[in-house]
Amino acid sequence: MNIAAKPQSKKQRREAQEKLILEAAEKVFAEAGFGGATMQLIADVAGLPKANLHYYFPTKESLYRQVVQNIFQFWLRAADVFDSAEGPAEGIGAYIDAKMEISRAYPAGSKVWASEVMHRAPVIQDYLETTLAEWTDGRMKVIQRWIDEGRMNPVNPRHLLYMLWATTQHYADFGHQIETLNEGKALSDQQWAEAKASVKQIILTGIGVSAEG
Amino acid sequence: MNIAAKPQSKKQRREAQEKLILEAAEKVFAEAGFGGATMQLIADVAGLPKANLHYYFPTKESLYRQVVQNIFQFWLRAADVFDSAEGPAEGIGAYIDAKMEISRAYPAGSKVWASEVMHRAPVIQDYLETTLAEWTDGRMKVIQRWIDEGRMNPVNPRHLLYMLWATTQHYADFGHQIETLNEGKALSDQQWAEAKASVKQIILTGIGVSAEG
DNA sequence: GTCTATACACTGATAGAC
DNA sequence: GTCTATCAGTGTATAGAC
């Protein structure tokens, strides 16, 4: 029955609609915050009637929760570069690269996360206490091992991680400020490369490893 | 006429009331965002009836605008340490100290600022374009001069400034996350000192000056 | 100047036709 | 599954007594 023309099963169609809504929601939540966002505006951005949103996501909060969880899962996967590295220069350098690229490609997600944390994490507090805490402990151990092996300066691993998060996410969360200070224009490819190189140079030099790449 | 018992003139009383409202508003805007904050909640925190807020500040937006402007002015004054310094180690070190202390003492203000910028600065865009842009240019010239004089490594002055803002404000804006990763407890005096020392160590080493103090 | 009561607009959510 | 019409609740702002 017309399989070629309508390749979408019910499930596929549902997933496509949900993705459409989730992407619109991420944008609106990022620009207006949870309280400032309205279901009407999300619906307009998605190009759907407002009632359809409530068909796929029963409440505004459930939609928001899904957006935040997706962002968190995405970040965790992107951080794998840390583990496959064989030393601090490669591992931390690649982590900075990865997080800078995420900041450029998905600034809305970063802003939603920042907003959620600033408001005391009403939705993802349990993730902070479990998954994020475990991830942080694991990476701190890797950094401490590098220090013990004399491959980098003795720095506080926890505060190094905070610095990595802060500097890379700053380019997404404060992107509007950076854009304004760049004559109102988004950073060019070259300017992004310069930003990435600057962050890597200062931090890698700061922890006593050479900043190549 | 009882001057000692009622030392407040009308003007003084008005200023005291406004200050009370502004402090409550800063807290509530920081925790809930502009859209999530309600005049009722601000009134409750201030211990006043809701209508009184509208007497002193005609609209919610005018109240918010005043909060954001106060924060910006406060930050500008605190950044003076940059100018009175005679070299990069002292100047940048003192700037990190000052901003870390502001993050600890006034986290709500930092969050309101972050939220405002993330939402594309609807209220303080003109400040970004004028005052902040001028301030940034001036400090970039100071850093460039230090570089030209061979007193620090050649780094991109603009991205160094962004890194200083990002790392120091992170301790306020993401304070809840940091607290959660600290077994749910606020950082102690000693932990704050450790944070400050870590930031200074990595950045000052990263730009090629010794990290004393 | 201060506060209570209320007007008016808007939002999240739903009922019910298609 | 999709959409229009609508309800109930909440928020900003104000009128008017004190």
Residue predicted with more confidence, A118 or A213: A118
Who's near B185: CB < 8 A, 6+ residues apart? Answer: B179
Listed residue (A93, A91, A117) closest to A168, CA to CA: A93
What is d(CA B188, CA B194) in angstroms, rounded to the nearest whole number? Answer: 10
- The pLDDT of B195-213, averaged and rounded, is 90
Query: CA A54 → C1' C17, Å?
Result: 18
pLDDT tens for residues A114-149? Answer: 999 999 999 999 999 999 999 999 999 999 999 999
Both structure tokens of A13: 């169609």
What integer pLDDT is reported at residue B2 of this predicted model? 44
For domain A68-206, is the CATH number 1.10.357.10? Answer: yes
Domain locations in chain A as residue ranges: 10-58, 68-206
Residue predicted with more confidence, B7 or A8: A8
B154 touches chain A (CB under 8 A): no
What integer pLDDT is reported at residue B211 of this predicted model? 57
- The pLDDT of B113-131, averaged and rounded, is 96
Both structure tokens of B148: 């030209």
pLDDT band at residue A3 using 50, 70 and 90 as cut-offs: very low
What integer pLDDT is reported at residue A84 of this predicted model? 85
Could you count the other beta carbons within 10 Å of the beta carbon of residue A185? 9
Intrachain domains B10-58 and B68-206 with the same fold: no
Which amino acid does the sequence have at A77? R
- Tokens 């997404």 appear where? A172
Under 8 Å between Cβ of B81 and B94:
yes
What integer pLDDT is reported at residue B4 of this predicted model? 46
What is d(CA B151, CA A83) in angstroms, rounded to the nearest whole number? Answer: 37
Give the pTM: 0.95
A212, HSE (Cβ side, Cα atoms, 13 Å) = 5
* Closest alpha carbon within chain B to A110: B118
Listed residue (A11, A122, B36, A55) closest to A21, CA to CA: A55
Architecture of domain B10-58: Orthogonal Bundle (1.10)
CA distance A72 to chain B (A): 13
What is d(CA A182, CA A176) in angstroms, rounded to the nearest whole number? Answer: 10
Write the residue in A36, A156, A201 that is nearest to B35 by C-beta. A36
What integer pLDDT is reported at residue B77 of this predicted model? 85
CA distance A200 to chain B (A): 10
* Closest alpha carbon within chain B to A131: B181
What integer pLDDT is reported at residue A94 of this predicted model? 95
Write the residue in A165, A173, A181 that is nearest to B133 by C-beta. A181
B49 CB closer than 7 A to any strand D atom: no
pLDDT tens for residues A14-60? Answer: 999 999 999 999 999 999 999 999 999 999 999 999 999 999 999 99
Average pLDDT across chain A, whole number: 94
Under 8 Å between Cβ of B113 and B102:
no
Backbone φ, ψ for residue A153 (5° rounding): -65, 150
Nucleotides of D under 7 A from a protein CB: 1-5, 10-16
Under 8 Å between Cβ of B171 and B104:
yes
